[in-house]
Amino acid sequence: MLAVLSPGQGSQKPGFLTPWLDLTGTEARLRWWSALAGVDLVHLGTAADAEEIKDTARTQPLLVAAALLAAEHLPMHDVAVTAGHSVGELGATALAGVLSAETAITLAGVRGREMAAACALEPTGMAAMLGGDADEVLAAVDAAGLYPANRNAAGQVVAAGTLAGLDKLAAEPPAKTRVVRLKVAGAFHTPYMTPAEESLAALTAGITPSDPTRILLSNLDGSAVGHGRDMVQRLVRQVTAPVRWDLCMRTLADLGVTGVLELPPAGTLAGLVKRELKGAGAPEIVTLNTPDDLPAARDLIARHGGTPGPRPTPAFQVVVAPAPGTFEPAAELAEGVHVRTGEVIGRVVTGQGPVEVTAHGTGVLTGWLAPHHAPVAPGQPLARIGGPA
């Protein structure tokens, strides 16, 4: 089984689209998409320097365009799974048939502009925390008044929030943890991006999505999304919710994925998969960066593509917080108990009152993922439900 991955912000490099313009029709397509995104994608992908393509408003549509351009030269009908990191989810969602390429590019342009505008409202930033004990790292993030914006893999958490909080974290890092400040415009995937989320929600209300034609994984909780409207709502929520790429990779393993292809600009996600999914069942990985890599990519799809038999689904689901507040689990529920779809498993107490948390699948409550009666952020995993009951 083959998975195609679409990378997120930070993976771009100056001139990385230049060799693709030699392919017939590519420049014309980029010029059309530029009109939709509100930026010059041809210039950004070929002549712009590193500083220019670091701009959130420019980078986000550029990355989505790169992934969709490359995918046009692949036999995508044989691809079983798509997933993307952060803005890469827009590319993955289009490749799964939920959105048209034009809609994904347009949304990427709006998302980039609105997130850049949100960054300008208050000085914020992000820092990567490498190594250390996971619980200690998350506790330190919380103690500094920050948010765990990205949980990319074991030993790789990205904290985000105020500059003072980031300074405190750097001055008092957890044991065996290295803190690296990231050169970004603000605190992505945190409540600081609320204005961008609201703008995106207003725009997407007019979209009529299709249901996915292949397995499409969500950054929100690593689960496979079966309905187009659900995925669009998740894309909107993801602007302020943490990116759980660690859970996406766990789902790749649960699905039995044997081949992984990363679209351009490739390398970052392939590296994470290679590090996390090791051993006898480790997938074969190919990175697609230039047209010269297309033969290897097509060969990988030929050998690992297709979905014989019933389409598999992940062996678990993760229930996430619907709003910021304090999590209170249902008193009568304990790990090992069977729950049903729609059953209330707890609530998040917010400033506007309690919000019920319900199971979106039937199965066994295999574990609580958030401390009871502790503050939670929107999109934060609360409980894991495994296997059908």
Active site residues: 86, 189
* For residue 283, cis peptide bond before it (omega within 30 degrees of 0): no
The Cα-based distances of 41 to 15, 183, 353 in angstroms read 11, 22, 45
CA angle 219–224–225, rounded 5-degree value: 90
Neighbours of 42 (CB within 10 A): 21
Q: 3-state class of 149 per DSSP?
A: strand
The sign of the dihedral angle between the CA atoms of 202, 203, 209, 213 is negative
What does the alpha-carbon distance between residue 177 and residue 157 come to, in Å, rounded to a whole number?
Answer: 10
What does the alpha-carbon distance between residue 180 and residue 178 come to, in Å, rounded to a whole number?
Answer: 6
* Strand extents, DSSP E, the chain: 2-6, 81-84, 124-131, 147-153, 156-162, 177-181, 215-216, 259-262, 284-287, 316-320, 325-329, 338-339, 344-350, 353-358, 363-368, 375-376, 381-386
